Structure 1
Amino acid sequence: MSFLSSMNISASAMTAQRLRLDIASQNIANIDTTRTATGGPYRRRMVVLEAQAESNFRKTLMNAAGKSRQQSSGGVKVSQVVEDTSPLKSVYDPEHPDADENGYVQMPNVDLIKETVDSMSATRSYEANITAFNAIKMMASKALEIGK
């Protein structure tokens, strides 16, 4: 594994964690949204991450020929952003414009505590990948100094 592929792995993780943080922020921003463009209240969104295989033609060819069974990880990618299917919250507020005939309003299924924890987790993961990225840069710099 070269220095550049190590940097690409950390960069892919930072991109994925940034999207996780963006989605958590979007969920928090819409915590009280009772009407969306598609109709009905906002539904919490979640990011699904999956391993990204390293795109190396030689490795792919060797695997296809049956000469190598090694699979190396090439980072992470966002496979999709899905809506949470958990039930919506019913809140009694007969004066709300979206209240039904019984006075209940369907509120988003966003939990502020869950979103805060997701935000903190994404931030910590992002910071860990920055640390790894900087360590790789430092190793590359020291390797170049050896040749002097």
Structure 2
Amino acid sequence: MSAFTNALSVSTSGLKAQSQRLRIVAENVANTDTPGYHRKTVQFGTTPGISGVAEVEIDRVSLDRREGERIYDPGHPMSDATGHFTGSNVELVIEIADAREAQRSYEANLKMFDQVRQMSTGLMDLLRK
């Protein structure tokens, strides 16, 4: 495989990993008000690609084990004898920061993909002359 193919493979794997990360962040945001919901976190890893170059992938998705906020609402169906129930442990500020980081990483991988494509096109133009 050529260096161009290797670079495209690496940037494509980064695009896929960051888009999956954004999906997980969106799930967390959507479940902010879901009682008992635990925030999902993403851990990245590498895998040998088809071309032998290491590619990025989501190694595993795990749950944040922190306890959710205790909310007092005696009328809530999930309330215990004291009138409290456990809310989610999702913090919107953290989720927004994670989303921005994933977005910027996605954009960086997309820029790399475009640069490799432009270099490949330039090389083909030179070889035609």
Q: Give the secondary-structure state (helix, strand or coil) at the position aligned to 2:47.
A: strand
Q: CA deviation at 1:53?
A: 2.8
Is 1:55–1:74's contact at 8 Å kept on the other side of the alignment?
no
Q: Any idea what the Cα deviations from partners look like across 1:84-124, whole Å, max 9, x if unmatched?
A: 11122101111211111111110011111111111111000
Q: Distance in 2 between matches of 1:80 and 1:33?
A: 23
Q: Distance in 2 between matches of 1:54 and 1:22?
A: 23
Match of 1:125 in 2: 105
**Which one has the largest radius of gyration?**
1
Q: Give the secondary-structure state (helix, strand or coil) at the position aligned to 1:79.
A: strand
Match of 1:17 in 2: 18
- When the two structures are superposed, what TM-score results if normalisation uses the length of structure 1? 0.81
Query: How many residues align structurally?
Result: 127
Match of 2:67 in 1: 87
Structure 1 segments of 4+ aligned residues over 3 angstroms from their partners:
none
Q: Distance in 1 between matches of 2:22 and 2:100?
A: 8
The one-letter code matched in structure 2 to 1:124 is R
- When the two structures are superposed, what TM-score results if normalisation uses the length of structure 2? 0.92
Gaps of 5+ in 1: 35-40, 60-72
Q: Distance in 2 between matches of 1:114 and 1:99?
A: 27
Match of 1:134 in 2: 114
Match of 2:123 in 1: 143
Gaps of 5+ in 2: none
RMSD, aligned α-carbons: 1.4
Match of 1:68 in 2: none
Pairing 1:1-148 to 2, within 5 Å after superposition: 2-34=3-35, 41-56=36-51, 73-147=53-127, 148=129
